Chains A and B, each alone.
Chain A
Amino acid sequence: MRTTRIMCCKGRQGVSTVLGTLIFIGILFTSVIPMYLVMNQADTIYEQRKLEMERFDDERSREEMDVYVFPTEGESSDNLTVKVYNRCELAVKIVRIWINDDFVSTDDVVQSMTELELGSYNVTPQEGSEYDIIVTTERGNIFESGSGPLAYQDGHWIVENRMINVLISAPGVVFKIYVTINGTDIDGSPAQVWKIGGSAFKSFTVESNGDYNVKVKRGANIIHDENVTMNWPEGPPVIWVYS
């Protein structure tokens, strides 16, 4: 009898404890854990978007384009053609082409390591005016014409310089660049350049149109041999040679 009573009392004493425990577990499962999961989900979304933006910024910084402008139909043309050369690993979408303070919207995509001609664009040139051409990409980069602004004087277009630019990324430190026309070195050729860091660059100003030969030597070895044609104003006033 005594034993039974004790058991009965012990059972009753545990009811509140059991109820309290059940309520605690209920609170844990219906409030605390869902709150934790929702917060965790928000953190995950934040980290994911941040990572996406870091990737976007990286892609943006990798965009590299050469922009050239030349009159479409000869030196007295009213129209300009914009030639872009995408030198990066990514496809680049061009959203706008600025000619001074006016812009033309486009949605042209330039694939990696390819060239694309855009236009032509009518500018109705004014005597003595300068035309700055800028290309904007979808990732927010802005590229100016590599040949500088185009000027219109005496009824025809002129550029500041006609140039052959040589960019060397090949392995090595010291290189010699030869630029010749009809077998004769042009002014400044041969030029010795040093590659410190990523690449070596040398620019040659050329006086006239014609077929030029560009050779890059590392020691006694020719590592690049290319013929290029300067044909301003039917073609761009700047030619790039990549070695």
Chain B
Amino acid sequence: MRGVGLMRNKRGITPVVATIILSAVVIAVGGAVWSYSQGAATVIANDYINGTMTLLNEVIERFTVEHVSNSSDGETLKVWIYNYGEVDIVVDVYANVTGGAFNSTMEKEVASKALVEVEVSFQADPLQREEEVAIKVHSRRQNNAYYTYYVL
């Protein structure tokens, strides 16, 4: 009977200790999961926002080839690009003469609402009168503007 009473008393301590340990484990693991999930949620949200804003800038980008001319010796093609959108853009200009030379000018910045003149060099193979030039303006956000020019 005495022994049974002792056992009962000992058994009484174990559940309390077990509960404390279990609670401590739950708090420790839960805290770690909480902390990790907060960090992960922040990273995921930031990535999502950045992705959405990048896509948004691509969608709202607007520009056009406003005017084209050439130098009298045909060695330079001048392309005026008008950015009528609300975001600044970076463009590459490609000029392709029908059945002839192909030249380009890379990485020209055009601020929002600004007009920028871009020169494409044709020094190696000057443009000839009445030649047809296909012009493609490609933005770094993957939008394009096209223009066909007849050399004057």
Give the interface of A toward B (CB within 8 A). 9, 12-13, 15-16, 19-20, 23-24, 26-27, 30-32, 34-35, 38-39, 42-43, 45-46, 49-50, 52-53, 56, 96, 98, 100-101, 103, 134, 136, 138-140, 142
Contacts and interface: CB of A to CB of B under 8 A. Distances in A.
21 contacts: A12-B16, A13-B19, A15-B19, A16-B19, A19-B26, A23-B27, A23-B33, A31-B34, A31-B41, A32-B41, A38-B49, A39-B48, A45-B56, A46-B52, A46-B55, A46-B59, A49-B56, A50-B56, A53-B59, A101-B78, A140-B62
Nearest to B56: A46
A49 B60 contact: yes
Nearest to A57: B62
Nearest to B43: A35
A140 B19 contact: no
B105 interface: no
Contact of A16 (B22, B37, B41, B44): B22
B30 A23 contact: yes
B148 interface: no
Contacts of A9: 15
Contact of A27 (B37, B62, B64): B37
B99 to A, nearest CB: 26
Interface residues of B, number: 38
A5 B33 CA distance: 34
A200 B23 CA distance: 84
Nearest to A43: B52
A23 B23 CA distance: 12
Interface of B: 15-16, 19, 22-23, 25-27, 30-31, 33-34, 37-38, 40-42, 44-45, 48-49, 52-53, 55-56, 59-60, 62-64, 66-67, 69, 78, 82, 84, 113, 115
A27 B31 CA distance: 9
Contacts of A49: 56, 59-60
Given A9-B15, A139-B84, A140-B62, A20 B30 contact: yes
Contact of B37 (A31, A38, A39, A103): A31
Contacts of B38: 27, 30-31
B73 to A, nearest CB: 15
B59 A50 contact: yes
Nearest to B53: A42
B15 A142 contact: no
B47 to A, nearest CB: 10
Given A9-B15, A27-B34, A30-B38, A39 B27 contact: no
A20 B23 CA distance: 9
A15 B41 contact: no
Contact of A32 (B16, B37, B59, B69): B37
Contacts of B40: 31
Contact of B26 (A20, A32, A35, A96): A20
Contact of A35 (B31, B41, B62): B41
A12 B19 contact: yes
A139 B64 CA distance: 10
B27 A19 contact: yes
Nearest to B65: A142
A30 B35 CA distance: 10
A138 B45 contact: no
> Which of B25, B42, B66 has most A Cβ within 10 Å?
B66
A26 B91 CA distance: 48
